[in-house]
Amino acid sequence: MALARSKARREAIFCLVALMCVIADQATKALAREYLAPGEAVPFIPGLLNLQFTVNTGAAFSMGEGLSWLFALIAIVVVVALAMAMWRARELPTYLCVFSGIIAGGAVGNLIDRMASGGVVDFFATAFMDFPIFNVADVCIDVGVVLGFIGYVIWDRERAASADASMEDEA
């Protein structure tokens, strides 16, 4: 397991990954704004995924409609908490720095939309089932959380096994 022991290395990985996610998110949203008509579904991957422009002032599944300010505040808290974790940790596996950066980048991508227009641009619509329309930032947040959780469980088990092995060596 590659550990990011240096604070500067952890912060650089976190910031670089977050920045790449924000750029990908904002670039795709700009394309959606430019080329998609509101409500019109355009096949992207036939039978699987359509492109359909919408602006969501709520959160997932359009819950909390009109509470964009609250979701902006939550995004800020999440990004600050992740940044502090990168800064405070003595060492972290590199993959947890990456996954944290993915989550932060997604949160910042949607935060930019909320601050600029009061709602989030969504444009990926599943063609095979009725599911909320989403965007690159949403994918980043979801994938980052799932991989981060799995990564943390693996890292925690490795640390416990290492601690057990150290105790056996001392005995």
Non-local CB neighbours of 158 within 8 Å, separated by 6+ positions? 1
User: 139 CB contacts (<8 Å, ≥6 apart)?
Assistant: 106, 124
Q: What is the pLDDT of residue 82?
A: 95
Residue 164 lies in a domain: no
User: Which of the residues 122, 156, 164, 169 is marked catalytic?
Assistant: 122
Q: Give yes or no: 138 in active site.
A: yes
In this predicted structure, the answer to whether residue 115 has a pLDDT above a threshold of 70 is yes
pLDDT tens for each residue of 15-55: 999 999 999 999 999 999 999 999 899 999 999 999 999 99
Q: What is the mean pLDDT of residues 112-124?
A: 93
In a domain? residue 55: yes
What number is the average pLDDT over the span 88-109?
94
Range of 12's domain? 7-156
130 given a catalytic annotation: no
Residue 167 lies in a domain: no
- pLDDT value at residue 122: 95
Does 145 reside within a domain? yes
| Counted domains in the chain | 1
Judge whether 166 lies within some domain. Answer: no
| Residue 44 placed within a domain | yes
Model-wide pTM > 0.85:
yes
| Average pLDDT, integer, range 85-92 | 87
> Which DSSP letter does residue 119 get?
S
pLDDT value, residue 89: 87
**Averaged pLDDT, 134-163:** 93
Residue 38 pairs in a beta bridge with: 53
In the predicted model, is pLDDT for residue 169 greater than 80?
A: no
**Which pLDDT belongs to residue 23?**
98
Q: Residue holding tokens 């964009």? A: 68
Q: Which of 25, 130, 138, 142 is catalytic?
A: 138
Provide the mean pLDDT of the chain: 90
Give a yes or no: residue 165 inside a domain.
Answer: no
